[in-house]
């Protein structure tokens, strides 16, 4: 092994591969190296748009931020975005190439294998080290023939492998042993160490089990990483944040939990705002007490709108808006606020047309061409509280396949490159935008929250919030500190250099 890379694989999905990759990348950055993340294939609805307008998985963006480098679509050459009809949109090198069933994609994989290898080689040449993330488990022996992301990728990159097990799931010794035993002899030789992740308690209790595991698999245990209470952006809807409220304060923010919710990282920045409680709402009663209701993005806008109605969530949203309460939609959530949504080409759904929530005077028509770009929006509005924000700039990115037609009751409030990107109703309490990430610097949401507080009659100064960039940097350093203290980093560096 040529000493240029390290691959993190796991005994299952959600064992902590992504966050450990981020930790090692931050450590490499702290130690003066230029390092990059890589994941051959990612499946996620939580995506990001690079500076050159290409789409990639959010996990590798987070890892690039941990490494202190610009996100590059080469770090995630294949992205699968599940749709509602047992198909996935397949994105290669940041561009959608079509929707495929699992079998169609399986037949397409051989065409991707050489392309992925070439992309990886080009990325590797630009960095001191590359930290590769696997997907799921390498022990899914029924998937070995079509593998492009686990041991096949390790072989292509000539990468040593660290195997990670999640003790919080239970049965960690059996899962590590079983995974190693199901690998081929050649694959087992690539595994240079194992890490036990998410441990709660005194590591001395584990020591007899660690010794027995090493005797059985003949691979060293490189560390036991404790359960880490760090707020790193989650990869997809397996996140635990949907099931708990974050923050405390006098302002109650309810994010509607859509069935195919995407880019929910738009709302992580809200938890940094002082005096704000953020929660995800799945039932009608959970919306009744909200001060601000937020509708997030979705990969299946019409289907999620119909599901929202079937769950009875539409009525409290409409009542809240009619009473003057604040309602805001981002991307697909923005489209839902209109009068009608049309999908004549069946871009997102088999349903050709559906009535919207009727809170904005606009109609949406989906088109097959997806628009992806990083953007800077400027607030330009003559409506109510938004007039105080005129000239404010907000950064973000756009991923959408819809065109809006606006009626006379729509008031533009946000423009991008001179074009309308967001509108409000005449009262200014219902608004939407295509711009993901517009809350990240805290400036726009602070103004929105201040307006909502005035509506409640709450006065007083509110402490300035951290920006998402400041918060991420703090969390990455905390993450690196914890992993350094619990993993044999001298051994990790020997593995990285190809010395063992």
- Residues acting as catalytic residues: 331, 436
Q: Are 6 and 499 in contact (CB under 8 A)?
A: no
Of the candidates 482, 481, 373, 389, the residue with the CA atom closest to the CA atom of residue 431:
389
Of the candidates 471, 412, 477, 474, which has an alpha carbon nearest to the alpha carbon of residue 440? 471
499 vs 361: CA distance, rounded Å: 65
Reference 163, options 189, 199, 127; nearest CA is: 189
- Going by C-alpha positions, the residue among 358, 363, 352, 333 that lies closest to residue 435 is 333
Q: What is the DSSP string of 237-305?
A: TT-GGGGS-B--SSEEEEEE--TTEE-GGGGGGGGGSTTEEEEEE-SGGGGTT-SEEEE-EES-HHHHH
171: left (phi over 0), alpha (psi -120 to 50) or beta: left
In total, the chain counts a number of residues equal to 500
Q: What are the helix (H) ranges across 311-422?
A: 314-322, 332-336
Distance separating alpha carbons of residues 327 and 431, to the nearest angstrom? 7
Beta bridge partners of 57: 47
């Amino acid at each position: 092994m040529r000493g240029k890379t390290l691959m993190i694989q796991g005994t299952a999905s959600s064992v902590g591969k992504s966050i450990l990759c981020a930790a090692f990348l931050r450590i490499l950055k702290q130690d003066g190296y230029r390092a990059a993340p890589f994941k051959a294939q990612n499946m996620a609805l939580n995506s990001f748009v690079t500076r050159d307008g290409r789409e990639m998985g959010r996990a590798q963006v987070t890892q690039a931020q941990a490494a202190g480098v610009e996100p590059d679509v080469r770090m995630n050459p294949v992205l699968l975005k599940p749709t509602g009809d047992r198909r996935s949109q397949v994105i290669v090198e940041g561009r959608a190439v079509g929707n495929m069933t699992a079998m169609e994609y399986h037949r397409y994989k051989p065409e991707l294998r050489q392309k992925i290898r070439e992309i990886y080689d080009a990325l590797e040449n630009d960095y001191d080290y590359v930290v590769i993330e696997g997907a799921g488990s390498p022990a899914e022996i029924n998937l070995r023939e079509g593998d492009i992301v686990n041991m096949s990728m390790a072989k292509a990159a000539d990468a040593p492998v660290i195997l990670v097990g999640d003790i919080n799931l239970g049965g960690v010794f059996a899962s590590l042993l079983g995974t190693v035993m199901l690998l081929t002899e050649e694959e087992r030789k690539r595994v240079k160490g194992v890490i036990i992740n998410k441990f709660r308690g005194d590591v001395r209790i584990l020591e007899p089990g660690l010794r027995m595991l090493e005797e059985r698999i003949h691979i060293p245990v490189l560390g036991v990483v404790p359960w880490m209470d760090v707020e790193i952006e989650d990869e997809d809807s397996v996140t635990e944040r949907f099931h708990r409220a974050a923050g405390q304060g006098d302002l109650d923010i309810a994010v509607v939990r859509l069935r195919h919710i995407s880019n929910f990282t738009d709302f992580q920045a809200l938890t940094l705002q002082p005096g704000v409680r953020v929660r995800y709402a799945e039932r009608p009663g959970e919306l009744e007490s909200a001060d601000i209701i937020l509708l997030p993005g979705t990969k299946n806008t019409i289907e999620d709108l119909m599901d929202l109605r079937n769950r009875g969530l539409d009525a409290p949203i409409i009542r809240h808006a009619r009473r003057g309460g604040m309602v805001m939609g981002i991307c697909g959530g923005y489209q839902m606020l209109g009068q009608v949504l049309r999908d004549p080409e069946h871009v997102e759904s088999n349903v050709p047309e559906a009535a919207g929530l009727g809170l904005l005077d606009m109609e949406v028509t989906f088109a097959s061409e997806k628009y992806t770009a990083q953007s800077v929006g400027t607030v330009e509005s003559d409506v109510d509280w938004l007039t105080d924000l005129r000239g404010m700039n907000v950064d973000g990115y756009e991923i959408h396949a819809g065109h809006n037609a606006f009626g006379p009751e729509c008031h533009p409030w946000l423009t991008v490159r001179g074009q309308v990107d967001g509108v409000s109703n005449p009262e200014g309490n219902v608004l939407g935008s295509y711009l993901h990430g517009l809350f990240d610097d805290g400036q726009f949401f602070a103004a929105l929250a201040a307006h909502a507080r005035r509506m409640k009659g709450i006065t007083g100064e509110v402490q300035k919030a951290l920006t998402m960039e400041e918060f991420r940097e703090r969390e990455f350093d905390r993450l690196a500190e914890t992993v350094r203290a619990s993993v044999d980093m001298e051994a990790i560096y020997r593995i990285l250099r190809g010395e063992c």
